[in-house]
Amino acid sequence: MLAFLLGAVASALAPTVWLLVAGRLAQGLGAGFVSAQVLGIIQDTARGTARVRALGAYSAVGALAAIVGPLLGGILLEAFPPTVGWRCVLLTPVPFAALAVWRGLRALPRARPARLSAGLDLPGIALLGAVVVAITLPVIDPGMPLPLVVTTLGAVGVLVAALIGWERRYARRGRLPLFAPALLRSGGFVAGNVVALLWFGSLLALSTVIAVFFLQAQQLPAFLIAAGLVPSALARLVSSRASGAIFARFGSTAITAGLAIEVVCLIALVLATLAVDSEALFATVMVIQVAMGFAGGLVEPALRAVTLGFAPSDLHGVAASFLQLTQRLSATFFVALATGIVLGAGAGAGAGAKPTPGSLRIATLVCAAAVLMALAVAWWSSQRRRVSVGAPLPAGAATVLPGVSPTPAGTRAPGDTDGMTAAQSLWTIERVSWTDPRAVALREAMDDEIGPRYAEVFASFDEETAAALAKDFAVDPATIVEVVLVRDDTGEAVGHAALRALSGELEVKRVFVHRDARGRGASCVLMAALEELALARGAARLILQTGDRQPEAIALYERIGYVPVEVFEPYVRFAGSRCFAKELLA
């Protein structure tokens, strides 16, 4: 924040353009550090429903800034001469940054790691920066000679190859590269970043070219343009605040729905540039922007929550930084591309180029194509996860540690054909304590994924009911009699389950498999291990409770022989409870 604050002051007071650029560079560095760490802190300090609400508040504050910033900037540009007004605009962040520094000193977490787990991959950062600069040059200068364009694109290829080679070498040294392998191996994390890359940059570019068009083509006052965008920012603020409840009800469908709305809005904007006369165009665009603001509030918190949810707990800050890097690089490219189009395809040439409705239409079509691709990736990713969870499980083999053997065939319920065997992998079961760090991490990951589904339900309860339900669902570690983890063929713990003593019976608790390991039978192996351990303890049956917003869990339990039973204590107070039992045959 201090770097950002000092950069703002230096930019506003700069006597030359190069010192202005240097000040903005300092601001960018500060902003990059701040935004990534804010998301990392949210990841570390908020879980489940609370995390989605925090990310919704984060987006809502961004929407509020989109109201205050342009309005304040428009007022200053109207109130002061042009030679002074732009400097005043650059000073507007200073009081907010100073307040943030003061609040940060008082409120931010003080805990520090015992040692640094990751250094700065400076060569990787430098190579990536060079790639972005090289690929953006032809976009910034549409008049670049063809031989120079070809040479520049060739340089991009060389830089990309050098970046890949360096990252692999850096990882082989045991260091954490800019493109962390643990993150890149997660299909969900990569898909989320691709969506962010296409969506964030194109929408920021659209707002930029709209402002440029109405400022230069129609000569509208800056304050009027800023005021016209207020309803859009308000719509985004409202939907961001409601995003927690929406995400809890519909999950990642909120992302695809928001993107689909934006595609429709962009098409409507293209049609408006063809059908609406210049006098009414501004009002038409502002109305369309309201719908886009609402859709953006649906997409942003949910996209962050889903994408960062795929990151391991020890890489929260790194994952947040990577997502921010994706968004900033996309903003750099798309803003340059769209601005180049709206000016380069407009009337006139060079510095005197004037945007036209036709050039605005072309720039909007480019943004629409990017958002449409983001929608396709989001839809494909959600379908892929759904197929992975619901796919039938072919037969395989399970390997277990001493003390637990595979569940014998005689313990399976009739019709449960190969329901308790692993598919496509060799799984290993390990008995651990409730406090084992790997078990704790997997339970936290389960809370992060399942909690948001019930956010809307629990938010509707009064404080007394919510407190009673929290007590009902609390797990006393003293009642836990067994905890098992399932490890993959690399030795990594990817699944968790436990047995709890409850009113004279054994209850299955906290069954969870990490999303990257699903669809290969790990959950069935976990359940088989619990049944074997329950039999060893003399149990005649197992009972369990799940919720009505976990259809994949219900499908699993029914597939492996569990049958519905009356809701039992302590879950009767929660209307969404679904309880099951399975008789164990010795």
Spell out the domain ranges in the chain: 2-105+180-381, 122-174, 398-583
DSSP code per residue over 430-485? EEE-TT-HHHHHHHHHHHHHHGGGGHHHHHTS-HHHHHHHHHHH---GGGEEEEEE
**Pair of tokens at residue 84:** 């002074």
CA distance 210 to 218: 11
CA dist list (Å): 288 to 212, 233, 291, 563: 17, 12, 5, 51
Residue-wise pLDDT tens for the chain (586 aa)?
999 999 999 999 999 999 999 999 999 888 877 877 787 777 777 765 566 678 778 878 887 887 888 888 888 888 888 888 889 999 998 998 899 889 888 887 776 654 555 567 788 888 888 888 888 888 777 678 888 888 988 998 999 999 889 888 888 887 878 788 877 877 778 888 999 999 988 988 998 889 888 888 888 887 788 888 888 888 888 888 787 677 766 767 888 899 999 999 999 999 998 888 877 889 999 999 999 989 988 888 888 877 877 776 667 677 877 888 888 888 888 988 888 888 776 555 455 567 888 888 999 999 999 999 999 998 887 765 444 333 333 333 333 333 333 333 333 333 332 322 223 346 889 999 999 999 999 998 888 888 777 766 776 677 788 888 888 888 899 999 999 999 987 888 999 999 999 988 899 999 999 888 887 888 989 999 999 888 888 888 899 999 888 888 888 898 888 999 999 999 998 888 999 999 886 4
User: Is the Cβ–Cβ distance between 496 and 529 less than 8 Å?
Assistant: no
The pTM of the whole model exceeds 0.85: no
The whole-angstrom separation of Cα 225 and Cα 282 is: 9
Task: Return the number of other C-beta atoms located less than 10 Å from residue 437's C-beta.
Answer: 10
Q: Output the six-digit token pair for 181.
A: 């392998």
- How many Å apart are CA 508 and CA 529, to the nearest integer? 11
- What span, in angstroms and rounded, lies between the C-alpha atoms of 460 and 46? 20
Question: Domain 398-583 belongs to what topology?
Answer: Aminopeptidase (3.40.630)
CB 433 within 8 A of CB 461: no
Cα distances (angstroms) measured from residue 185 to each of 188, 189, 206, 425? 9, 8, 32, 17
Taking the CA atoms of 256, 31, 290 and 238 in sequence, report the sign of the dihedral they define: positive
Q: How far apart are CA 26 and CA 7, in angstroms?
A: 5
How far apart, in whole angstroms, are the C-alpha atoms of residue 534 and residue 585? Answer: 11
Cα 266 to Cα 263: distance, rounded to the nearest angstrom: 5
Q: Is the peptide bond before 414 cis (omega within 30 degrees of 0)?
A: no
Distance CA 319, CA 304 (A): 10
What's the one-letter identity of residue 446? M
Cα diameter, the chain: 88
CB 372 within 8 A of CB 339: no
Q: Which residue in 149, 170, 157 sits closest to 131, CA to CA? A: 157
Cβ neighbours around 536 below 10 Å, total: 12
CATH, domain 2-105+180-381, list 3.40.50.720, 2.40.100.10, 1.20.1250.20, 3.40.390.10: 1.20.1250.20
How many Å apart are CA 178 and CA 426, to the nearest integer? 32
